[in-house]
Structure 1
């Protein structure tokens, strides 16, 4: 076993909660982050590619031993700020352990089930970090009711269900296809944004990452709770093999005054969209 492999296992297993049969680790998501983290000696890997190979073996071993394997993006700037805030030495393994299991960052954790790291998993880690920061922002707007220890209060639960229903009607009205939803809510402290990639099969089954669904619903819920203006855009390709292979590009949009979502033509993130269908006509 290489020295790089030994160093990485020692750093990662120290964050394990064995009583819960869970394994938690942080993963550097880019070559740039790998270089920034070199001074902390997280790994002895010679370069980012070697680091990913070591990490893949580490995760495969963890899957064989632990009931749950979770990972989050190890963001160098976030880690440095965390150590400064808590008076920790970033070169100490105990500092990395505290950073990985910090309760305020648990929304950034993703379950690992054997995916290829260089495929979609690393981009999902990056999105999960960004989404986790947005969730904390949304929770502040919801007066801590979204991520509180006792769960959401009745009003927030009701509005969260309503937000999920808005999203469902957008997808049902769109029909089968491959889409991306982008939604924004404007609030005085800054814009809340969420994105979700969706596959809607002809049999009605919808494929979407859990973390993307949670983020969209949280952003929409915060907008309803605070009655903030917002916009949503659903674009992609409509159609399926069941429709004789007929596919067509589509882009629909809606605006909200904070209470209801209505069709509206708009441009969002360089994408032009025509007014969407009335959500009230979708069952």
Structure 2
């Protein structure tokens, strides 16, 4: 649905009810709703003169945004949102010769194809929990754009049938690296951090992971995509990198046994191996050999 121009604006000055993104009527399960949300009071104050919202204050704005999302969940099959970032929006308008005060500028910015990686699916959670995800999605989207640039635009099609075979293979290898890290760690609550030394600045990603006793893993989709993309770019471009998995290993089902762990790996650009190092201030001992994990 996002590749179509919306019949009605997905974000308006007085958005009290959701607007449809599809050009033709369809069943609820086939419809998508997209909106942008200001995630901080400073951003709210900056855009007030741009007529983005008529809310008198940020508290009122957040209440109306919550009502908008709640209504969209009831009416639409898919609800997505992204951080409405004033600087990004201003840059978009400058690039396309648009007025920041016009609705058409906001509509184009929200469904701008290069920025779709910043969209986050909303499933009815509290707005206070959803807003940080929007911020992280924007940050992650910038990293994805950087990684895609390093791979000559091949990353976005890494899982597609038309993608370069080497890209598909490398993406699968990156996914396998992350899978082995999690399987080897066993059940627990962890945070995984990875950084790859890349031209133009480091590529960084992190993800919080819950690994249950039955092997099921809980992780936000956008975090999983970002971690895999950074690992993929590092292997594809043969760039050195470092990664740390730290947190609490164990669970109540295993006789309540818990222990704090911090494991690290280093990449030469070709493969990942155990190493003693620190990533983003987290010091860790050498991890287990990924080659021993099946």
TM-score by length of 1: 0.93
Q: Name the counterpart of 1:94.
A: 104
Structure 2, unpaired ranges of 5+: 1-10, 25-29
Cα shift readout 1:53-91 (whole Å, capped 9, x = no counterpart): 101111111122222111011001100111111111101
Q: Secondary structure at the match of 2:154?
A: coil
Structure 1, unpaired ranges of 5+: none
Cα shift readout 1:141-161 (whole Å, capped 9, x = no counterpart): 222112148753111111101
Q: Name the counterpart of 1:8.
A: 14
Q: Pick from 22, 36, 43: which aligns with 1:17?
A: 22
Q: Name the counterpart of 2:61.
A: 51
Q: Name the counterpart of 1:157.
A: 168
Q: Distance in 1 between matches of 2:266 and 2:213?
A: 27
Asked if 1 retains the 8 angstrom alpha-carbon contact of 2:16 and 2:67, the reply is no
Q: Distance in 1 between matches of 2:179 and 2:161?
A: 26
Q: Distance in 2 between matches of 1:62 and 1:232?
A: 39
Q: Pick from 254, 276, 279: which aligns with 1:265?
A: 276
Q: How does 1:1-283 map to 2 (within 5 A)?
A: 7-9=13-15, 13=19, 16-19=21-24, 21-119=31-129, 121-148=130-157, 151-283=162-294
Cα shift readout 1:164-183 (whole Å, capped 9, x = no counterpart): 00001100111110001000
The Cα of 1:7 is off from its aligned counterpart by 3.1
Q: Distance in 2 between matches of 1:282 and 1:147?
A: 29
TM-score by length of 2: 0.90
The Cα of 1:17 is off from its aligned counterpart by 2.8
The Cα of 1:189 is off from its aligned counterpart by 1.7
Q: Distance in 2 between matches of 1:167 and 1:204?
A: 14
CA-based RMSD of the aligned residues comes to 1.8
The Cα of 1:244 is off from its aligned counterpart by 1.7
Q: Distance in 2 between matches of 1:37 and 1:6?
A: 13
The Cα of 1:133 is off from its aligned counterpart by 1.0
Asked if 2 retains the 8 angstrom alpha-carbon contact of 1:169 and 1:282, the reply is yes
Q: Distance in 2 between matches of 1:44 and 1:258?
A: 51
Q: Secondary structure at the match of 2:285?
A: strand
Distance 1:12 1:140, change over 3 A: farther
Cα shift readout 1:82-121 (whole Å, capped 9, x = no counterpart): 11111111011111000001001111111111111112x1
Q: Distance in 2 between matches of 1:242 and 1:206?
A: 16
Q: Secondary structure at the match of 1:204?
A: coil
Asked if 1 retains the 8 angstrom alpha-carbon contact of 2:17 and 2:72, the reply is no
